[in-house]
Amino acid sequence: MTDSISITGIKGFGYHGVLPAERADGQEFIVDVTLQFSLAPAGLSDDLTKSAHYGEVANDVHAEIVGDPVNLIEALAERIASKILTRKLVQTVVVTVHKPTAPIEVPFADVSVTITRP
């Protein structure tokens, strides 16, 4: 599949992590998603019902970020992918979860995990 819709930089404040301080203080998480499916029906008809409403997808992703905490960002990515795949048109989703303020003792720019799910 070569057609896709991408939403990048969805931000939310969550309490995910294995350390007690992460659970108590929380931190910002940033998520990028790419939904893969044929966009031809929407493009040819100009009909939103033949596509994925990216505003709703962004809201779903944000709800997962700020929702119930998990230990690992891998688990957060799985929850987000599962939620997006409930949309009937989406065939594959790529989810990247960024944890830019992860508790790492050396200077770094970002930590992220990326998963692809059919």
Residues annotated as part of the active site: 99
Q: For residue 17, is it left (φ>0), alpha (ψ between -120 and 50) or beta?
A: left
